[in-house]
Structure 1
Amino acid sequence: MKRQISFTQALATVVGSVIGAGVFFKIGTITAQTGSTSMTLFVWILAGVISIASGLTVSEIAASLKVNGAIKYLDYTYGRVWGFLFGWAQMIVYFPAQIGALSSIFGVQFVSLFGISNKFSNLIAILLVLFLFGINLIGTKVSSKMQSVITVLKIIPIVLIIIWGIFNQNRINIQILPLTVGAGKSMAGGLSQGLLSALFAFEGWIVVTNLANEVKNPEKDLSRAIIAGLSIITLIYVLINYTFLTVLPIHQLVNNNNAAFEASSKLFGQFGGKLVTVGILISVYGAVLTPLC
């Protein structure tokens, strides 16, 4: 393979592969698990640190072995049986479950945006998967170009929410320190459950290690791209969740699948909120497209 991927392109791959649906919709789950604003923000920071450490470990393996893909790393380290099982686990469980979860989120947000009955959300999710499947049948060139456009578009609602949230004059004062959990919850339980949910939103960074044999200087650029990319993503995640927490009271965020729409509506008004939600739908669409490519 030709070594033609630069540091900038590797960095863009990290950011584009990771940012998807989790940044918008995990806030409802995490607030329910932690019960506090301080622990909610902390688990996002901790998830970012763990992801960077994991990424650095895998990038060292990728740069040393000069091969592409986690399956090859497992083959080399633990034997071909584990690489084989990992490949099948991805095909049968991991990717289908990820696509199903993201498509369900898309369906819920779609019916909420257009005022359609909730009973049609699953149908819309199925149609989305079939539509993307058809695009990939046309060819990877088409799906790759579409993914590049979506990567740019999905950043727009994130930037708008963060900027408006920072300058919001009516924001709610929240507790950042000391770390606490909600009533009836243990510190260990709130931290572990919230962390597991936050890590879902960081999934995808390993994609760049699949390109290790095509990066111009993998020994140097892979680690740099992962550190810089995941640091940027962690900052974005913390800021956007801080915005959600300062726009809506925590009791309105708990288990709320429409938190992003409601926060956007409060920041931008009803019409502006719907426009931002369209951007969020595009982001979720891109997240579903990634494992299908």
Structure 2
Amino acid sequence: MSQNNNKQTLRKSIGLSAALSTVVGMLIGSGVFFKPQAIYTSTNGGPGLGLLAWLIGGLVTIAAGLTAAEVSASIVKPGGMMVYLEEIYDERIGFLTGWMQSILFIPAISAALGIIFAQEVVNLLGIQNNIYIKLIAIAIIVFIALLNSLGAKFGGSIQTISTVCKLFPLAIIIVFGFIKGDSSTGIITPFVGEGTNLVESISQVLIATLFAYDGWIYVGALSGEMKNPSKHLPMAIVGGISIVMSVYLIINVAYLMVVPASEMASVSAPATLAAKQMFGSSGSKIISVGILISVFGTLNGFILTGGRIPYIMGCQNRIPFSRAFSKLNNNAVPLNGTWLIVILAILYSISGQFNLLSDLAIFTIWIFYTMLFIGVIKLRKTRPEMERPYKVPLYPIIPMIAIIGGVFIVISTLITQTQNAIVGVVITLLGLPIYEYMRKKSAKKLDGEKSA
């Protein structure tokens, strides 16, 4: 397919601090506040496996980040994973990656985050009405899109500020949790509650933690706008994941010192319950504000990076209305691509289903993550001459850990959430007829130009 002659170019305005804060900001979001419930429900109130899951999920994500960073540093082109998989496999796989990200993953995650944001707002205001939840979710998604239309540098600044702000309530919970908590409470024991199916429980808790860790790969979509991507991109991915894993482990220990795992399994926001135990009723309001800041930053990260995917596909004439999607506004922002993400996110948010949307998105994206990890090994064999500013350490052990983790997630989701998994696969495969249509259209146009 032909490349559009677009004279506008993405500006190289994003430095290491903005990229690092994008990774941290996209990871530390709703998961650290909401997923403990799902985790400790899966363990039947057993804290040991739940705490171990945060560690395992972090290690798998670090292995994934270390592995993917080799490709990110070697293939320095805007578009992120879509471009990586195209270079590793073929154009069709690259298209399906971009299609899945644009139509399913980024809009679904954005919608889920908007719903969580809205739920916290109505809880804070004492309003119990599902209509308000949906309206607020739509409003915050649109508001963040408008902010990001001002430019990538401005969006990166929002990310940096929100990341710094969200760390304060997390720090308060950690510090006062250790000061006021009881270290003699069951932090590790019992490992699982009575009647737990260990294999099924491991699957569920790992999927839950990986949702909390997800988002790290999408800083790669900003590589074309980074000042020094070969050096800073791997640093941002690995450094950001390491920071987040440390925060998740410590804060969950703080939770468990204040609130038993069995009680956390019974509430939707364990952080709020822990705050009530530490500070009284006013504590829950403080944490609610912290959650709002955290989710705001995460949502901003997805909208900031998400619009770049349809932009690249538009520049390559791979999607309908490519001319529109390949345009940048006066601030060098792919505004039409951003609004595609926003419109779909609004439609998804009408469902009001946070867990449904997040589970659907995580399963689908991990199919492509796993292909990327395999691709690192493939490239080492097929393109040994490729310039690699960064190489994954302990090769091939680290890539194999990432691959095993990815295969486990995909297979376990197919078994435990079959219907959700099938929906994700079907939506992704719907991109194939779109690809074939655009490929034939481009070929016909090319033939016409040659014969003219």
TM-score using structure 1 length: 0.89
Match 1:22 to one of 13, 22, 31: 31
Distance 1:145 1:14, change over 3 A: closer
Contact kept in structure 1, 2:41 and 2:265, CA below 8 Å: yes
* Residue number in structure 2 paired with 1:150: 162
Which amino acid in structure 1 is aligned with residue 63 of structure 2? Answer: A
CA offset at residue 209 of structure 1?
3.0
* Residue number in structure 2 paired with 1:62: 72
Moved over 4 A (4+): 1-10, 137-142, 169-172
Please say which of residues 252-261 and 98-107 is displaced more in the overlay.
252-261
Distance 1:157 1:143, change over 3 A: same
CA offset at residue 121 of structure 1?
2.4
* Residue number in structure 2 paired with 1:37: 47
Please say which of residues 140-149 and 70-79 is displaced more in the overlay.
140-149
1:243-291 per-position Cα deviation (integer Å, ceiling 9, x unaligned): 2222222232115223222211221222233123212211111212221
* Residue number in structure 2 paired with 1:50: 60
Please say which of residues 266-275 and 130-139 is displaced more in the overlay.
130-139
> How far apart, CA to CA, are the structure 2 residues paired with 1:208 and 1:58?
11
Contact kept in structure 2, 1:26 and 1:197, CA below 8 Å: yes
CA offset at residue 11 of structure 1?
3.4
SS at match of 2:71: helix
* Residue number in structure 2 paired with 1:133: 145
CA offset at residue 86 of structure 1?
1.0
CA offset at residue 157 of structure 1?
0.8
CA offset at residue 51 of structure 1?
0.4
Contact kept in structure 1, 2:162 and 2:297, CA below 8 Å: yes
The structure with the largest alpha-carbon Rg is 2
* Residue number in structure 2 paired with 1:85: 96
Contact kept in structure 2, 1:109 and 1:258, CA below 8 Å: no
SS at match of 1:256: coil
**1:221-240 correspondence to structure 2 within 5 Å:** 221-240=232-251
How many residues are matched?
A: 291
> How far apart, CA to CA, are the structure 1 residues paired with 2:165 and 2:243?
17
CA offset at residue 146 of structure 1?
2.6
* Residue number in structure 2 paired with 1:273: 284
Contact kept in structure 1, 2:18 and 2:159, CA below 8 Å: no
User: What residue ranges of structure 2 are gaps of 5+ in the alignment?
Assistant: 1-9, 305-452
Contact kept in structure 1, 2:22 and 2:159, CA below 8 Å: no
- Return the structure number with greater helix share: 1
CA offset at residue 230 of structure 1?
1.5
Contact kept in structure 1, 2:223 and 2:233, CA below 8 Å: yes
1:5-26 per-position Cα deviation (integer Å, ceiling 9, x unaligned): 6655543333223211111111
SS at match of 2:228: coil
CA offset at residue 60 of structure 1?
0.6
Distance 1:86 1:242, change over 3 A: same
Which amino acid in structure 1 is aligned with residue 170 of structure 2? Answer: I
> How far apart, CA to CA, are the structure 1 residues paired with 2:287 and 2:200?
34
Distance 1:216 1:29, change over 3 A: same
> How far apart, CA to CA, are the structure 2 residues paired with 1:104 and 1:253?
21
**Residue 195, structure 1, aligned to residue 217, structure 2:** no
SS at match of 2:192: coil
* Residue number in structure 2 paired with 1:176: 188
Match 1:164 to one of 173, 176, 199: 176
1:31-88 per-position Cα deviation (integer Å, ceiling 9, x unaligned): 1112210011001000000001111111111222233411110110110111111111
* Residue number in structure 2 paired with 1:286: 297
Contact kept in structure 2, 1:4 and 1:216, CA below 8 Å: no
Contact kept in structure 1, 2:27 and 2:213, CA below 8 Å: yes
Distance 1:103 1:171, change over 3 A: farther
Distance 1:208 1:125, change over 3 A: closer
**Percent identity of paired positions between Structure 1 and Structure 2:** 37
Please say which of residues 231-240 and 245-254 is displaced more in the overlay.
245-254
**Residue 121, structure 1, aligned to residue 133, structure 2:** yes
> How far apart, CA to CA, are the structure 1 residues paired with 2:100 and 2:273?
37
CA offset at residue 142 of structure 1?
4.5
Which amino acid in structure 1 is aligned with residue 61 of structure 2? Answer: S
Contact kept in structure 2, 1:60 and 1:223, CA below 8 Å: yes
Which amino acid in structure 2 is aligned with residue 122 of structure 1? Answer: K
What CA RMSD, in Å, does the superposition of the two structures yield over aligned residues? 2.5
Distance 1:38 1:156, change over 3 A: same
> How far apart, CA to CA, are the structure 2 residues paired with 1:5 and 1:175?
41
CA offset at residue 2 of structure 1?
8.4
SS at match of 1:174: coil
User: What residue ranges of structure 1 are gaps of 5+ in the alignment?
Assistant: none
> How far apart, CA to CA, are the structure 1 residues paired with 2:140 and 2:158?
15
Match 2:267 to one of 251, 256, 262: 256
Please say which of residues 119-128 and 87-96 is displaced more in the overlay.
119-128
Which amino acid in structure 2 is aligned with residue 266 of structure 1? Answer: Q
